[in-house]
Amino acid sequence: MPATASDKNDRSLDDFLSDATTKINITDMYKGVHFDETLTLQNVIDLIDSYKRHAKLHKEYVMQVLRQAASLFQSLPNLHMINVAPAKHITIVGDLHGQLDDLLLILRENGLPSPDNPYVFNGDFVDRGKSSIEVCVVLFCFAVLYPHSVFLNRGNHEDRAVTQKFGFYKECIEKYDEEVFSLFCHCFRYLPLGTILQDRRVLIWHGGVPRQAVKLQDVMDIPRYEYDGLRHTNKYMKAASRLTKFEKNMQIVSDILWSDPRAQHGFDESPRGAGIDYGPDIAMRFMQANRLALIVRSHECTPLGYTYPYGEKAGMLVTVFSASNYSKASNMGAIMHIPSDDNTAPSFAQYRASASDHDFIGANLDGLYSVILDSRDALLAAFRAVDVHGRGAVSSVEWQNIMEATLHMALDWATLQPLVTSVEKDGSVAYVPFLDRYQSQAAVNRGEKAAMNKLYRHRERLEMLFHTIDKDRNGVITMEEFQDALDVLNKHLPKDMLPFEHPDQLMSVLDFTKDNAININEFLESFRLHANLTTAAKWRRAKNKLKAMHHLGMLKTVDAPAALLLHVPEDAVVSSPRVAAA
């Protein structure tokens, strides 16, 4: 391949690949994940587990992955040509932008890539998020491990100039060095531009259709590694009186990576500085010329994680964006499933990721408690309606169903259950004791209320004390341990604050199960309920916060329009759709 302007800033790819023969020398100080010379699935699983613990992969292993990925990408055509079958479906993931939590959630809920569970990752792996390196290393590992099942498309951010502006370069320098950044840039240059699902006539690439009337075969012949985001902009192209063949090819690549759909017909140059804003007529012209049933693109954040820019009925183009709460936009992320069955429409799974399910739950339990408190009477009536024999208990599944139906919140109640109630040995939930946990401040006398508020102000100190004083480390505080904690706390209270007295009375307030012991987590959450839920205004605010909770840390499946079956007969002519504004 000919030398390019980018090579002036990079060592040659051959130099990097030749380094692969150098034996990796890991110092004795490194305690992290180790890779085999030939990457294995267990290596990748160990890597993911280490990233969950915020561990850092040794530079030599990062370089090993990048060398292998660069060699793979260099061998690939501009467009992956694949079939969904024999897999049941293929998963399409949109922009991730360095948001590792989103990627880990997808892999956990949707399954790791494999020959039976293929993936297309549609570009923009890096920039803006804080974990772009980790996202790329995981994706590159899977691409190397399963080159016929994991397909990576280039996005507009997989570019040296763009990454130097939007954060990836800085991340590389802070975590590793210039050498790592340069090898990442080599990998980016050789990433394919798109993926074609031949058996479903679906084209997947990052931005949009070219302004020129081109065939996909024309795209296959472009020297994609020559594209330079800094040089091949609309401004640069306009300065040329007449585009050469090479410049036209670079303009096609720019349009593929940077363009966005719009409702109006025709096209205009994009305000992004590269690519175009294209109407449905431009998209349809390209689809008819290439006999496509659907184009899947990414590149734009959308509130629900996916959208049909030209309307669901048109169905010819869809945007999939997988970075949830992108730049604090409160958007959902989504992935797309395209089935191998011609008679089954695509579907989407939506989510909003959190660094930890337990972090998410803990941060929102106050609001959940307030909603339970506000709906206490309705819940009691619902439990009694199911409890036809008057046992005072319902099954665990019945409890979950009633909580969801009565509170109108599709939460993961199975996960939440042990945090908000007790489950008996037979799997039942005694609903009266459960609801008795949630009582308004009016049910607590004035002395107990003052003590609870004071405890709440020192909750973090108490938690540290309890973990220290919990002598048998069983997570349960006995009366004796509770007394010890209060004694220590009293010694460190401000001089103007009265000490905690009558620990037995406090214990009785907190001991819901009346077994003379308190679960630490139950204690912390129970007095937070008493201390925080003092006004109706806070209840209303908590309800608003909880409205979006069912999207957090879980995948919610949404079917595409039933009419969108992606089946286009060989002799069909695709009609022009009625455009709906995005």
Domains of the chain, CATH where assigned: 13-351 (3.60.21.10), 357-440 (1.10.238.10), 449-532 (1.10.238.10)
Please enumerate, as own/partner, the contacts of 422-428 that have beta carbons within 8 Å and a separation of 24 or more. Answer: 422/513, 423/396, 424/393, 427/395, 427/396, 428/391, 428/393, 428/394, 428/395, 428/396
CB atoms within 10 A of CB 562: 8
Report the chain (582 residues): mean pLDDT per 10 consecutive residues. Answer: 48 54 58 92 96 93 98 98 96 97 93 97 96 98 98 96 93 96 98 96 95 93 91 69 86 94 90 89 94 95 90 85 85 93 90 54 51 79 94 93 80 73 86 75 45 51 58 67 74 61 69 63 50 40 43 53 46 32 30
Which residues, other chains included, contact 505 with Cβ-Cβ below 8 Å and sequence gap of 6+?
447, 448
Tell me, what's the pLDDT at 568?
Answer: 41
Tell me, what's the pLDDT at 480?
Answer: 78
CB atoms within 10 A of CB 321: 29
Supply the residues annotated as catalytic: 157
Q: Structure tokens of 101? A: 């939590």
H or E element that contains 337: strand 333-339
Sign of the four-CA dihedral 123, 126, 130, 133: positive
Sign of the four-CA dihedral 427, 430, 431, 433: negative
Tell me, what's the pLDDT at 325?
Answer: 86
Tell me, what's the pLDDT at 240?
Answer: 55
Tell me, what's the pLDDT at 293?
Answer: 94
Please tell me the distance from the alpha carbon of residue 208 to that of residue 264, in angstroms, as a whole number: 15
Please tell me the distance from the alpha carbon of residue 561 to that of residue 400, in angstroms, as a whole number: 30
Please tell me the distance from the alpha carbon of residue 541 to that of residue 370, in angstroms, as a whole number: 9
Pairing of strands 294-297, 317-320: parallel
Q: 508 near 417, Cβ under 8 Å?
A: no
Tell me, what's the pLDDT at 538?
Answer: 41
Length reported for the chain: 582
Please tell me the distance from the alpha carbon of residue 476 to that of residue 422, in angstroms, as a whole number: 14
Q: Please calculate the CA angle 12-13-14 and round it to the nearest 5 degrees.
A: 90
Tell me, what's the pLDDT at 1?
Answer: 46
Please tell me the distance from the alpha carbon of residue 95 to that of residue 126, in angstroms, as a whole number: 9
In the block, tokens 């049941």 appear at 88
> Quick one: three-class SS letters along 408-462?
CCCCCHHHHHHHHCCCCCCCEEEHHHHHHCCCCHHHCCHHHHHHHHHHHHCHHHH
H or E element that contains 478: strand 476-478
Q: Structure tokens of 2? A: 């000919």
Instruction: Determine the residue type at 263.
Output: A
Please tell me the distance from the alpha carbon of residue 419 to that of residue 442, in angstroms, as a whole number: 24
User: SS3 for 72?
Assistant: helix
Tell me, what's the pLDDT at 177?
Answer: 96
Please tell me the distance from the alpha carbon of residue 191 to that of residue 225, in angstroms, as a whole number: 8
Pairing of strands 393-395, 428-430: antiparallel
pTM to 2 decimals?
0.62
Burial of 423: CB neighbours in 10 Å, binned 0-12, 13-18, 19+:
middle
Radius of gyration of the chain (CA): 29
